[in-house]
């Protein structure tokens, strides 16, 4: 009997050791290759309106990356609140932005940096990597107001007197973004006002809405082509997000068409496939911080989407 116990014990110890060796092997199998992050944001692109065949560049990113159509925005499903959440890693109850076009918090932010703002992903990069270049290019002025320090973040507002931006304006946005990538920006954010503008003027899911979606995909394709042609994807992570969807000619309604948005992660270190874990758009900032091996502020509530990566730490 004693001998049987000894053999059983030996087997258990051996199995445990083998198991641990495999676990250690898994942990060390992939290391984090990410040195740069490109965040691409479209305003008002709801999951309900995603037709992969009309967005060949997003489709390519999805098929070679990790993705979900079940990302939820924070409520209400309107713009400034959700762009704040995407960049600030928390919901409106903490960052305080409460209306669609808030240029400053409507309620006091729970935590302030030394520059008097709720910490965003740009402030986290600047604080922990003072020499790192970050950059942000956008076609809606309010995006610039969300940055902790627009000068330090190197923001470029592509201004237009027209509500809807012309192809020339979007081309300038693309060229500005590629310029930042050429400067080896550690974190680059590019924001497109469409298809939100088309949604408000013609309806979510209208023909014009889908035309704008296809047009925006072409601009994304130019940026991705730059990354591919210059072998940047070996150490660049690309994340695609939107702030909300919509119904009729608006958003902010209590519907899933307003609330669910696509989320795609493509490039360095990404594990292909559909993301099964829960994603809220404030997970974006946390995922960027984690991918760049930065410490997220304690006040953030977002979690990195670790299941979308080949490496563990």
Which residue's CB comes closest to Zn ion? 79
- Which parts of the chain fold into alpha helices (H)? 2-29, 56-63, 79-88, 92-95, 121-128, 141-146, 167-182, 196-202, 207-229, 256-259, 283-291
Nearer to Zn ion, 33 or 250 (CB): 250
Nearer to Zn ion, 43 or 283 (CB): 43
CA distance 39 to 43: 13
Q: Residue 190's closest CA among 179, 201, 204?
A: 179
Q: Are 194 and 215 in contact (CB under 8 A)?
A: yes
Residue 49 beta carbon to Zn ion: minimum distance, rounded to whole angstroms: 14
Q: Are 142 and 127 in contact (CB under 8 A)?
A: no
Residue 185 beta carbon to Zn ion: minimum distance, rounded to whole angstroms: 24
Nearer to Zn ion, 96 or 297 (CB): 96
SS (H, E, C) 109-122: CCCCCCCCCCCCHH
Residue 85 beta carbon to Zn ion: minimum distance, rounded to whole angstroms: 12
Residue 177 beta carbon to Zn ion: minimum distance, rounded to whole angstroms: 19
Write down the residue that tokens 């400034």 correspond to.
Answer: 80
Q: Residue 134's closest CA among 56, 81, 190?
A: 190
Q: What is the contact mask toward Zn ion in residues 182 to 211, using x (rule: CB under 5 A)?
A: --------------x---------------
Residue 112 beta carbon to Zn ion: minimum distance, rounded to whole angstroms: 25
Biggest CA–CA distance in the chain, Å, is: 88
Q: Is residue 120 a contact residue for Zn ion (CB under 5 A)?
A: no
- Scanning 64-72, 239-247, 275-283, 296-304 for contacts with Zn ion by CB under 5 A, the matching segment is 239-247
Positions in 19-48 near Zn ion (CB under 5 A): 43-44
Report which DSSP code applies to 267: E
Nearer to Zn ion, 119 or 199 (CB): 199
- Scanning 33-41, 110-118, 169-177, 241-249 for contacts with Zn ion by CB under 5 A, the matching segment is 241-249
Nearer to Zn ion, 197 or 286 (CB): 197
Q: Is residue 79 a contact residue for Zn ion (CB under 5 A)?
A: yes
Nearer to Zn ion, 78 or 296 (CB): 78
Residue 142 beta carbon to Zn ion: minimum distance, rounded to whole angstroms: 10
- Token pair, residue 280, equals 């809220």
120, 148, 194, 243: residue in contact with Zn ion (rule CB under 5 A): 243
Residue 155 beta carbon to Zn ion: minimum distance, rounded to whole angstroms: 18
Q: Are strands 66-72 and 273-274 parallel, antiparallel or unpaired?
A: parallel
Q: Is residue 247 a contact residue for Zn ion (CB under 5 A)?
A: no
Q: Residue 128's closest CA among 187, 178, 41?
A: 187
User: How far apart, in Å, are the Cα atoms of 286 and each of 37, 289, 304?
Assistant: 12, 5, 5
Residue 269 beta carbon to Zn ion: minimum distance, rounded to whole angstroms: 29
Nearer to Zn ion, 44 or 302 (CB): 44
Q: Give the total of residues touching Zn ion (CB under 5 A).
A: 5
Nearer to Zn ion, 101 or 116 (CB): 101
Q: Are 241 and 39 in contact (CB under 8 A)?
A: yes
Q: Applying CB under 5 A, which residues contact Zn ion?
A: 43-44, 79, 196, 243
């Amino acid at each position: 009997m004693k001998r049987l116990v000894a053999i059983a014990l030996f087997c258990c110890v051996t199995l445990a050791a083998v198991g641990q060796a495999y676990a250690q092997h898994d942990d060390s199998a992939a290391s984090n290759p990410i040195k740069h992050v490109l965040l691409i944001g479209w305003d008002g692109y709801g999951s309900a309106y995603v037709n992969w065949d009309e967005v060949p560049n997003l489709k390519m990113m999805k098929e070679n990356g990790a993705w979900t159509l079940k990302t939820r925005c924070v409520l209400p499903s309107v713009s400034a609140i959700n762009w704040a959440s995407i960049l600030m890693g928390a919901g409106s109850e903490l960052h305080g932005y409460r209306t669609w076009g808030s240029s400053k918090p409507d309620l006091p932010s729970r935590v302030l940096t030394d520059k008097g703002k709720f910490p965003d992903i740009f402030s986290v990069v600047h604080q922990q990597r003072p020499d790192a270049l970050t950059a942000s290019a956008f076609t809606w002025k309010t995006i610039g107001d969300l940055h902790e320090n627009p000068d330090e973040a190197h923001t470029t507002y592509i201004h237009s007197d027209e509500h809807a931006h012309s192809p020339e304006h979007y081309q300038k946005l693309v060229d500005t973004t590629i310029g930042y990538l050429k400067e080896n920006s550690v974190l680059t954010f590019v924001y497109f006002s469409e298809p939100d503008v088309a949604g408000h003027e013609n309806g979510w899911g209208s023909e014009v809405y889908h035309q704008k979606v296809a047009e925006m995909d072409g601009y994304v394709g130019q940026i991705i082509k730059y990354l591919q042609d210059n072998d940047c994807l070996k150490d660049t992570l690309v994340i695609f997000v939107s702030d909300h969807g919509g119904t009729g000619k608006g958003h902010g309604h209590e519907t899933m068409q307003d609330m669910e948005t696509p989320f795609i992660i493509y490039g360095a270190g990404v594990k292909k496939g559909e993301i099964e874990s829960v994603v809220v758009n404030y997970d974006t900032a946390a995922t960027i911080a984690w991918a760049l091996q930065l410490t997220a502020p304690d006040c953030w509530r977002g979690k990195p989407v670790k299941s979308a990566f080949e490496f563990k730490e």
